[in-house]
């Protein structure tokens, strides 16, 4: 018998009607002859509501207690979903993260899963029950409740699928799957049938919102097939799997799989830096220590023994980055630090690029033909990214999507 892990996000269990619909969906899967393990997030806005409660009590909530508080959200979901399933006559049992044997490290509010000992999950399956597990939470070596941070419920589902050697991990969401680009920007965006872990990782890293990179990494490591699909329709969605299972697609000559973008970038430029060894190390070392992730970097040609260094970061990190740089400014002998927060990034992703030269050239040409200025470039084996003006994102995405043959036929 197949074992399927089904994961439903908060919007899928936001109220009684939605919970009942999910219950029906889960029962259908079970009745089709599968063993079923369900992972759920907290209902709708409950996590935000709990955070508001905490903020009413203190402006700096203790992190252990924050986990104690937030973990109640998923516990509410699993209990309600389990009741709904039993009400429809199917046997089921709910388990908190700790009960399901999700072990995590001692970092509160963003713990990493260390191991899974799913004894009670197996027990439930062996008794023919649908097993419902609280996402986003685990138990740490002190036997405290921890939470797994952003994308935590997806991670629970994928890691549990790996531990249980499930046949597939279905991630239910409010879209039909992974798209060639954001359909709100390009109406002709198409649903992708199959995509590799590596492409999905690059997509997540370059602005696509479907899944967090950490879950994809675990899926890749353990070879878990992820099926991203809609809570509201029965259509098949997008299969995220290993490249070896995707060979056939490459033969069909798909070079670029998707166009992604991130509107919320910022560019920092350090002007007239002394041209000495170790300067870049100092700049980026300081930023890394302060927890600021740097994306693209340009160092301009030296003139009169001084350089400009420019780089992009998330717009939310600008204030922090400027404060960190202010501290090292004197050591750099830099004239000025300039920030520009109207920068965005557009990227093309595809494993097909490897065997097709000229993809980068085509991207640059497409943008330039359409009057879009490229301010920075970064490339890797399966992704090419360009920093452009924020105001030109929609145009850039639209022309690239068309140029690489991704428009709906």
Residues that bind a copy of itself (CB under 8 A): 15-16, 19-20, 50, 53-54, 56-62, 64-66, 68-69, 71-72, 75-76, 78-80, 82-84, 86-87, 93-94, 96, 99, 120, 143, 145
User: Can you say whether residue 183 is alpha, beta or left, with left for phi > 0 and alpha for psi between -120 and 50 degrees?
Assistant: alpha
Q: Compute CA 308 distance to the chain's CA centroid, rounded to the nearest angstrom.
A: 33
Q: What are the Cα distances from residue 334, in Å, to 301, 380, 398?
A: 15, 30, 39
Task: CB nearer to a copy of itself: give 66 or 271.
Answer: 66
CA-CA distance, 298 to 308, in Å (whole number)?
8
Are 385 and 379 in contact by the 8 Å Cβ rule? The answer is yes
Task: CB nearer to a copy of itself: give 61 or 149.
Answer: 61
Min CB(117)–a copy of itself separation in Å:
13
Task: CB nearer to a copy of itself: give 110 or 120.
Answer: 120
Min CB(181)–a copy of itself separation in Å:
38
Min CB(159)–a copy of itself separation in Å:
21
CA-CA distance, 192 to 258, in Å (whole number)?
9
3-state secondary structure of 341: strand
Min CB(156)–a copy of itself separation in Å:
17
Task: CB nearer to a copy of itself: give 86 or 402.
Answer: 86
Min CB(122)–a copy of itself separation in Å:
14
Are 346 and 370 in contact by the 8 Å Cβ rule? The answer is no
Task: CB nearer to a copy of itself: give 107 or 366.
Answer: 107
Q: Of 243, 364, 347, which is closest to residue 296 (Cα–Cα)?
A: 347
Tokens read off for 184:
């709100």
Min CB(3)–a copy of itself separation in Å:
23
Task: CB nearer to a copy of itself: give 83 or 185.
Answer: 83
CA-CA distance, 379 to 385, in Å (whole number)?
6
* H/E stretch holding 300: none
């Amino acid at each position: 018998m197949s074992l399927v892990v089904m994961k439903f996000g908060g919007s899928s269990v936001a109220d009684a009607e939605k919970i009942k619909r999910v219950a029906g969906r889960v029962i259908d899967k079970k009745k089709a002859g599968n063993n079923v393990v369900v992972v759920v997030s907290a209902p709708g806005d409950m996590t935000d509501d709990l955070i508001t409660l905490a903020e009413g009590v203190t402006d700096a909530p203790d992190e252990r207690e924050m986990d104690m508080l937030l973990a109640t959200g998923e516990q509410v979901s699993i209990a309600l979903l389990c009741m709904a399933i039993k009400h429809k006559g199917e046997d089921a049992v709910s388990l908190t993260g700790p009960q399901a044997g999700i072990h995590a490290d001692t970092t509160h509010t963003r713990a990493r899963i260390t191991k899974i000992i799913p004894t009670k999950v197996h027990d439930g399956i062996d008794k023919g029950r649908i097993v419902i597990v609280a996402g986003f939470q685990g138990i740490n070596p002190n036997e405290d409740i921890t939470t797994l941070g952003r994308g935590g419920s997806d991670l629970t589902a994928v890691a549990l699928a790996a531990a249980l050697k499930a046949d597939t991990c279905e991630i239910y969401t409010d879209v039909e799957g992974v798209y060639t680009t954001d359909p709100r920007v390009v109406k002709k965006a198409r649903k992708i049938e199959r995509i590799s872990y590596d492409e999905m990782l690059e997509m997540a890293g370059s602005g696509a919102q479907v899944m967090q990179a950490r879950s994809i990494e675990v899926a890749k490591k353990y070879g878990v097939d992820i099926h991203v699909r809609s809570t509201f329709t029965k259509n098949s969605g997008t299969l995220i799997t290993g490249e070896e299972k995707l060979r056939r697609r490459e033969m069909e000559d798909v070079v670029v799989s998707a166009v992604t973008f991130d509107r919320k970038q910022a560019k920092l430029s350090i002007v007239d830096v002394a041209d000495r060894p170790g300067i870049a190390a100092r700049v980026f070392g300081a930023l890394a220590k302060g927890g600021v992730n740097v994306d693209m970097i340009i160092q301009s040609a030296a003139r009169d023994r001084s350089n400009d260094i420019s780089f992009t970061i998330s717009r939310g990190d600008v204030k922090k980055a400027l404060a960190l740089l202010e501290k090292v400014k004197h050591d750099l002998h830099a004239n000025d630090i300039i920030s520009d927060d109207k920068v965005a990034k557009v990227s093309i992703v595809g494993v097909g690029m490897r065997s097709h030269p000229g993809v980068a050239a085509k991207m640059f040409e497409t943008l330039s033909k359409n009057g879009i200025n490229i301010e920075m470039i970064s490339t890797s084996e399966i992704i090419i990214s360009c920093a452009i003006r924020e105001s030109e994102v929609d145009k850039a995405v639209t022309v690239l999507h068309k140029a690489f043959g991704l428009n709906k036929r």
